[in-house]
Chains A and B, each alone.
Chain A
Amino acid sequence: MIQQLFGYLGYYIPEIVCVVLMTSLLVAESTVKDEHANRGKIIGFALAGLTICLGFLFANLGEEPKIIFHNAITIDPFSTLIKIIMVMGTMGAIFLSYSSKDIYSNLKSEFAIMAVGVLIGGMLLASSNNMLTLYLGIETLSILSYVMSSFKRDESTSTEAGLKYALYGGLSAGVALFGMSHLYGALGSIQFGEMITKLPGLEGLNLAVVLISFVLFFVGIGYKISLFPFHMWTPDVYQGSPIPVTAFFAIVPKMAGLAALIRISMIFFSEVKILTVSWVGLMLAISALTMTVGNVTAIGQTSVKRLLAFSSIGHVGLMILGVVVLNDVGIRAILFYGIAYMFMTLIAFYVTSHLSDMYGNDSSEVFKGLIYKHPLMAIIMAGVLFSLAGMPPFSGFVAKFNIFSVIIEKKMYGIAIVAAINSVIALYYYVKLAKTMIFSQADGEVKVSGFTGGHQAVIVAMFIPVLLLGIFWEKVMILSGNATIFIK
């Protein structure tokens, strides 16, 4: 028994690497002297640790799916690929936190500690196989996120962001938990595998309780990926948090929440007719509303952080259409979208971070005439904006095309039309920002300073996937297609 448990640890190495990394970062934080050079070393150490974790994840990608720790954790190619996306996003955000002036310079590595902690929560959530690990994953993710969003502790906006996040988060976690408790009562177990065996026999009052409980349960996840009725916190928190934190929030908690949503939908809603019908109807309505609200509200925004927050709401609304079809092709489309979205978001926040450090605010005015001030930055940012809008030849186009093709294959024409209209709206505000960068005259002759070789190399390196995935997409498509979900 004990030997078996230790044997399972072999499948759990990436998470163990992250836990060890977080602990050693804590020790380093409290023992190393407070100097700028040391800050660089600690962050380099964090990046090295995450690279090791990434290596183990890539090695795990080809493994047979397996359920470990008394059915608590699933290790399958799907969760491993989600973890790879999350680890890469964390690395990008940690690197950004080193150069950004938005995080106080007297903080050495708190960002890295918290980010790795959130990553551990996200990994738990992505491979959870019962309600307990799911709940612990959501809470690990959330509680550390509250701290991250109030990092600028002397500024009222950041504290307010943390406060709002904590209050909304606590409420939605509580509601989700209440739903879970009734699911446990009605289905008699917290293991997903045992719960589905009870589902077909349900009728009458029990069925009603289960349906309502699933809706309550859904609140917790919907809040984490900011779906329509629970999206109110997103723009406020994104605007109030320091930019590296915002970049991090846009990727890691979203991908983890999406993974949990996909797993739950695939496990519970592909068997029983009445559950499937009500779930698909609910998801279609929520997806349409999320996209529309996100994209329409994004139009009037002047703060670029807020604009990216609303655009991320729109993107998630489109992504969950891959869940609605409840098949492997839909999951493949979501995974591809996630990979492309991660690179695009990181670059967009990278550029925004540098400009807002320079000018002291993040309104779209600071993008004026960027092409004259720093041509490379402007060209790459324009490429990313077009990619986010879903224009060929960038990867955003292929990502959107995949989602559209899966829903049209299922003959869901209504939602396809809504999604197409939303793409047009999104194109408008992205192109407006690109136009500000390229066609407006700069206010003065100020050059963008400090964006030197290293930074340029990083954004170019991140831009290569954005460009190449739009042209040579087969490899990644096969990779995401192989990342099947394992349901017992």
Chain B
Amino acid sequence: MDLQTLTYLVVGSTFALYIGIAIWARAGTTGEFYAAGRGVHPVTNGMATAADWMSAASFISMAGLIAFVGYDNSTFLMGWTGGYVLLAMLLAPYLRKFGKFTVPEFIGDRFYSPTARLVAVICLIVASLTYVIGQMTGVGVAFSRFLNVSSEIGLFVGAAIVFAYAVLGGMKGITYTQVAQYCVLILAYTIPAIFISLQLTGNAFPQVGLFSNTLADGVPLLTKLNEVIGELGFASYTGHHSNTLNMVLFTLSLMIGTAGLPHVIIRFFTVPRVADARWSAGWALVFIALLYTVAPAVGAMARLNLVDTIQIGQVGAPDGNLAYDDRPDWFRNWETTGLLKFEDKNGDGRIQYYNDASQGFAAKAEEFGWKGNELDVNRDILVLANPEIAQLPNWVIALVAAGGLAAALSTAAGLLLAISSAVSHDLIKGAYNPNISEKSELLAARIAMAASIVVATYLGLNPPGFAAQTVALAFGLAAASIFPALMMGIFVKRINNKGAVAGMLTGLIFTIVYIFWYKGWLFIPGTNFAPDTPDAWVFGISPLSIGSVGALLNFGVAYFVSNATEEPPQEIQDLVESIRIPRGAGAATGH
């Protein structure tokens, strides 16, 4: 069977599975729509959380981010997993005990302030919408590369699938499709990694293979990688080349941003008990770690394979580089997408891939007759092209396509639920019409979901030029505004409405201004006040890392303002007491 047919078959059957689940898991009440009736087993929820959390960025981009930078980008690995420790210990069990349906609802009730709830709704919608754009464009890319249809049609098909299970089933439908999607994506990620690890190191566990000797010449894989890229003028893979303070703050921002992202938090509302919320965070990290411990191995091995493909002989020898006419099939396939580009700068018909920004290497390059790096590799293609580079069988390539789609669709659905529940529950029921009936609210939730899908599809078709930048915004908002408010709401009884609002606004405004200062106001090119370079950043802190500083400001301001003003009313203090103990969590589910 040829690759095209096989891919249609594999992707088609996963889609049929998702639709089947949608029909089986319809939601009949708002409790089922918002929180899957709070009947999800902690392990099931952990798996759904893992799919919810691991987006197109985790599946497609992360290994590439590590492959082309090395140690310095370990920040993504620690940051995107360390947040679960915070979730498990600081937020999830208490918010589950609180027993409501949305994150802004907790903030509004705990700080007895509609303003606080509104600020939270705005942060939630901005963070989730920006995030969803990336998922939708990811769906389009996967379709256009693997299924040979235009990315527009791909987007419509993807949106229709999400529509089916998210509008019908709400959280209930999303949960069970996410479980299926997790299985697809983790198989798609680990199977090629195992093959490649076996090929390079003979070790079936990529996590161990990364630190093993290569079969080819018996030296450790990482030593070998440092050598071959070093010969081409690249900085060492395992070395530390970036600003340490920035690395710490970036990791911290990713951690608290992860813990503060509403679409992740609401997953913990679906388990039956407080104790389950604790276990479930652990299970979520187990399923996430299966991918996250493999990703650095995929990155290092793919980089080595890539260099070995291009640099076939001695560096500098006339026949040391691959002739363009001899390029392998995967190279041709990816050239047609424009994500892999070759330009024969010195006209020798061979591909030179090296670091032409390195001054130390410039003299050598000149001596070799090289006129600049000739290969431009988009780092997002590494994971997708990996099975082809390693010459794995066609069914593995088809599976990777289905995995990429599963990662993007599962995250998109989770984000859309967070947005639609904020609209129907916080804005319509909370602010506009508190007396809305259960049936009407469920209808409103479904309409809000359908509308969010339409907006997300539109944004996916016409991604604003700043789409790639907005991830910083999503994490910045979650880290600087939502996480501190939730944590203080639980752990510091003294925080009152004034303190919380002042803290959230301070964190929010500070973070947004710092990001826009370097990246342009509303990301409009040319409107930035300073160049976005390490030299211009305050203390070398990148706009991507500023969320953690915003969070510290939020904590500080909230604390001082609260202590300078009156104590929160007695019933709020009682509320805080009650969410701190698990007993009685069952009673809250009625709502």
Decide whether A and B assemble into one complex.
no
B interface with A by C-beta (< 8 Å): none
A interface with B by C-beta (< 8 Å): none
